[in-house]
Structure 1
Amino acid sequence: MAHIEQRKGGWRVQIRRKGAQSISRTFDLKADAEAWGREAERELQRGNLTVLRQEAQRTTLSEVIDAYLASPRLAAQRSRHNIPVRLEAARARFGKLFLANIRGLDIAAWRDDLLAQGYASQSARHYLAALSVVFTHAERELGIDLPQGNPVRRLALPAAAPARDRRLRPGEEDALRAATENADQIAILTLALETSMRRGEMLGLWWEHIDLKRRTAHLPRTKNGESRTVALSSKAVEALQSLPRRLDGLVFRWKTAEGFKAVWTRWLARARRTALLNKLRTELDSIGLDGEAQARALQWHKREPDPRAAALWGRLQSDPFLDDLHFHDLRHEATSRLFEKGLGIMEVASMTGHKSLSMLKRYTHIEAEKLAKKLG
């Protein structure tokens, strides 16, 4: 029988069972306390002993996130896809709530807010996946019974974005190389195009795992949970040899994906702006401006812009050159180039680390023009 008494904080209900911990909850209204007590007793009579365990009603999402981030066994999993960054966003939204109080409706609202803030559907899916991992950790590793299970799993996810087929256009690779500022940028660009390694795999490279004589780079941990050894082309070896050896043993200077992402954004913008300015000069040449007049026209962005240069520059903004290029697109480019070099499916898979032909196909976009030349 449920025992109900009035206390300072409200009406407290307590249910005791022999051989098990007692359970209790406090309500503002006595009617609510009585209703909960009757429901809990009915569940116990049905043999549902999970009501005796209240961890989900006493543990906040923030506490579970801390436990997940502190688990050494999950270090490799945590490092993927910026999971810590996404978990901090989830903490800001739900951190103070007890697990039992986080409803699918609340998570659906967060999903919609992410999309409304401009996140791509795939990015929103990644945020939801990170939150789902935390609920799974609570169940499997912490032994917390969730009243309704993992609420993320019952949620309708944003539609998956279609597979990207962006490859480098003529001149884009040269423009990216011309816009590099240091040896690290030149090397990571070369490795990306020569090996098809993922960004995270390259940022996690250690010199101790690279054998320049055998021309191999060993990756102890990859996205699919397995290790693999990647063959290095002569260009990739040359790029690695150009790098100074760091004291910490890492090949590249960037410690986080976010740090490199900021560098890539500036790098790409610099390469595109330089390329468009060169095109602008060509356009100004075509309308017959001499050197002095052209120099004045190129000051269009200052207080007294030259109307001809300003008009040409405005038109050039729609040029697709280096537009909408993600660093991950270089993996698509590299994988397609491996096939175009004549490597077989298994050889390419050993380089890229794909386990299935369907996934490998998503990263392969062989140009029809090059296929036509092979057909004769």
Structure 2
Amino acid sequence: MATIRKRGFGQWQVQVRRVGFETESATFESKIEAQEWASQIESAMVRGVHAARKVAERMKLSDLVGKFKESYAPMHYKAREDGKEAWKFQLKHIDDKLGEKTLAELDQKLVAEYRDERLKLVSGGTVRKELYLLSKVLGFAEMELGICLPGGNPVSKIRKPIEAKGRDRRLSDTEWSELEQECRKSRNTYLWPAVCIARETCMRQGEILSVKWQDVDWKRKFVFLHDTKNGEARAVPLSPMALEILKNLPRSITGNIFPIQRMTLLHAFQGALKRAKIADFRFHDLRHEGISRLAERGDFSVLDMAAVSGHKTLTMLSRYTHINAEKLADKLATTK
């Protein structure tokens, strides 16, 4: 039962007593706040989660982040040799800004303020990823640690930044010719082969650099990827051009098809772009180029393209359907 008393100007003291529980008390600036708090405490006692709620009032987010890294992350995130896992950087930003807040204090107002501050510095897509990771951490607290979040998961109660539109930058025939010329001039002999493989296979840069010679099935004409962005292994079909490029590459003692570091490839690629005077083009755009070429053929369905690119959902590929609209119209005209 809750007892609420006025204690001087702007002070309302509330006490909650219930058999089998310690007396809980707190002071608020308004009677309404005192009543709401008492209602939450009594409800938690009735539902048998009061003890878990008290943990939320004592535990800081930084402590939960530590438990998340120790217990959850090793089983759900594959470690990289260079230690550059994106989730670690995202979690650090969250911890730096909100780590000193207790789980009970972490409400939608604080999370919304975090969102708005981060949007001043980084893209909406980056902020979305950080918010979803925060939601996952808080979900870990509820589901696996049995901690009751007084107001529920605050991330679910705020607006998320709008997902950025996919890039549509493609090179003209002239730009491709100039890029090839500058890539072939590069001191990095792996640069042009890597560019061609990215375009021919639609693989991501990290996938290209991680694949080994033992993963190539020459007979069945595919390369098997063990480590992908979405966490699922997949087989990537190799076109005749891709096969020819691989056959002409030297074998490294490391076992990697491309025995170079990510930043080494990136700097070589950026240098070639600069010399070719090509602006607003990234290595990841080669993946978009490859998928676009598949769509332009007209004989690749969205499911076929997903099998090549590794997209888990077809939503990301829907923007490519307009590319072969003319071919689809011709097909409709010949359908009886």
- Using structure 1 for the length normalisation, give the TM-score: 0.67
**Corresponding residue to 1:87 among 83, 91, 96:** 91
- 1:244 is the counterpart of 2:201: no
Structure-2 change in CA distance of 1:191 and 1:269 (3 Å): closer
**1:115 paired residue number:** 119
Find the partner of 2:220 among 214, 225, 236: 214
Cα distance in 1 for partners of 2:37, 2:118 equals 39
After superposition, give the CA deviation of every residue in 1:21-72 in whole Å (9 maximum; x if it has no partner). x68788899x9xx989855653356x23322212322322223323333332
Are 1:67 and 2:23 counterparts? no
Distance 1:104 1:41, change over 3 A: closer
Select 1:325's aligned residue among 281, 293, 297.
281
Q: Secondary structure at the match of 2:283?
A: coil
- The 1-side partners of 2:272 and 2:327 are apart by 27
Q: Secondary structure at the match of 1:106?
A: helix
**1:270 correspondence with 2:271:** yes
**Mapped contact 2:197–2:242 kept (Cα < 8 A):** yes
Query: Given the alignment, which residue of 144, 148, 151 partners 2:147?
Result: 144
Instruction: Report deviation, 1:84.
Output: 1.5
Q: Does 1:56 align with 2:63?
A: no
Aligned to 2:201: 195
Structure having the higher Rg: 1
Offset at 1:148? 1.5
Q: Does residue 352 in structure 1 map to residue 294 in structure 2?
A: no
Distance apart, 1:208 and its partner CA:
3.3
Matched position secondary structure for 2:236: strand
Tell me how far apart the structure 1 counterparts of residues 100 and 256 of structure 2 sit (CA, whole Å). 38
Q: Is the 8 A contact 2:298 2:327 kept in 1?
A: no
Q: What does the per-residue CA deviation read over 1:309-332, in whole Å, with 9 as the maximum and x for residues that have no partner?
A: xxxxxxxxxxxxx32223322221
Task: State how far apart, in whole Å, the 1-side matches of 2:204 and 2:106 are.
Answer: 35
Structure 1 residue 220 displacement after superposition: 3.4
> Of 309, 313, 318, which residue of structure 2 is paired with 1:361?
318
How far 1:93 moved relative to its partner?
Answer: 0.9
Moved more, 147-156 or 73-82: 73-82
- Tell me if 1:131 matches 2:134: yes
Letter in 1 for 2:309: T
How has the CA–CA distance of structure 1 residues 66 and 89 changed in structure 2, closer, same or farther, with 3 Å as cutoff?
A: same
Amino acid at match of 1:273: K
| 2:193 and 2:245 in contact (8 A); partners too | yes
User: Structure 1's 352 and 146: CA in aligned 2 closer, same or farther, altered over 3 A?
Assistant: same
Mapped to 2, the partners of 1:23 and 1:268 lie a distance apart of 67
Give per-residue Cα distances to partners, 1:164-209, cap 9 Å, x unaligned: 2222222333444424442443333222101112334334324432
Contact 2:199/2:287, CA 8 A, preserved across alignment: yes
Other structure's SS at 1:42 match? helix
Match of 1:336 in 2: 292
Cα 1:76–1:141 shift into 2, 3 Å: farther
Instruction: Give the distance between the partners of 1:37 and 1:359, measured in 2 at CA.
Output: 45
- Cα offsets for 1:91-142 (capped at 9, x unmatched): 111122222222222222222222222x222222222222222222222233
Q: Hey, what's the Cα distance between the residues in 2 that align with 1:212 and 1:25?
A: 72
Shift of 1:89: 1.1
Task: Determine the structure 1 residue equivalent to 2:6.
Answer: none
8 Å CA contact retained: 2:252, 2:259: no
Structure 1: gaps spanning 5 or more residues: 3-10, 277-321
Whether the 8 Å CA contact 2:224–2:234 is kept in 1: the answer is yes
SS in 2 for 1:217: strand
Change (3 A) 1:38 1:139: closer
Q: Is contact 1:100-1:146 (8 Å) kept? A: yes
Residues 129/40 of structure 1: CA separation in 2 closer, same or farther (3 Å cut)? closer
Question: Do structure 1's residue 204 and structure 2's residue 190 form an aligned pair?
Answer: no
Cα distance between partner residues in 1 of 2:41 and 2:93: 38
Report the Cα offset of residue 156 of structure 1: 0.7
Letter in 1 for 2:126: S
Letter in 2 for 1:244: R
**Unmatched segments (≥5 aa) in structure 2:** 3-12
User: How far, CA to CA, are the matches of 1:269 and 1:73 in structure 2?
Assistant: 36
- Equivalent pair of 2:57/2:104 in contact (CA under 8 Å): yes
How many angstroms does 1:147 deviate by?
Answer: 1.4
Q: Contact 1:332/1:365 (CA < 8 Å) preserved in 2?
A: no
CA apart distance, 1:333: 0.8
CA offset digits 1:329-364 (Å, max 9, x no partner): 222110121233454214333212235544322356
